[in-house]
Structure 1
Amino acid sequence: MAEVTNDLIYGMLKLVHANLAEVKFDVHELKKRMTGAEDALAGVNRRLDRQDDRLERIERRLDLHELAETQKPYEPK
């Protein structure tokens, strides 16, 4: 078995430190990407909300709100 020396321990600590720095960098990049995805999703939600508002105004203007209510099924006579 190899003798454990300060140089060996120091070399291992340098490797651990380098790996940790790489992991920190990767986590930082993932956070940036996640923030971008969240911003994009928020933009889509805002756009859908605007479309819902426009559709509601159109329905009110055309007096179509009754169609949105539940009605009895059509029964031919």
Structure 2
Amino acid sequence: MAEITNEIMYELLKRVHADLANLREDNRGLRQDFISLRSHMHVMQGDLNNLHGTMAQVLVRLDRIEDRLELRELAEAQARFEPQP
């Protein structure tokens, strides 16, 4: 069995220290990637919210147009003559 000396312990500690430094650097890179992904997700959520708002406005305008042209009454009257499933 090999004898454990201070030199061997020192070399092992240097390796552990180097591995920890590499892990810290990798961790920093992962953090930056997560921050970037979160930023993109927030932008996409904002875009979806804008689309929902725009769609709601279009539906309100469509309802007003249908009411003004009295298309709803025509559609309801036509529905009576459509075959039932």
TM-score tier by shorter-chain length is: 0.7 to 0.9
After superposing on structure 2, the runs of 4+ consecutive aligned residues of structure 1 that deviate more than 4 Å are none
Q: TM-score, normalised by structure 2?
A: 0.74
User: Could you say what secondary structure the match of 1:27 adopts?
Assistant: helix
- RMSD value over aligned CA atoms? 1.7
| Higher Cα Rg, which structure | 2
* Letter of the structure 1 residue corresponding to residue 59 of structure 2: E
Question: Equivalent residue for 1:55?
Answer: 55
Question: What per-residue deviation string (whole Å, max 9, x for no partner) do you get for residues 33-63 of structure 1?
Answer: 0110111011111001001100100100110
Give the partner amino acid of 1:49.
Answer: N
- Tell me the number of residue pairs that the alignment of Structure 1 and Structure 2 aligns: 68
Q: Could you tell me which runs of 5 or more consecutive residues in structure 1 were left unpaired when the two chains were aligned.
A: 65-73
Structure 2 alignment gaps of length 5 or more = 65-78
Looking at secondary structure, tell me which structure has more helix per residue. 2
Residue identity (%): 31
1:27 corresponds to 2:34: no
CA distance in 2, matches of 1:50, 1:3: 70
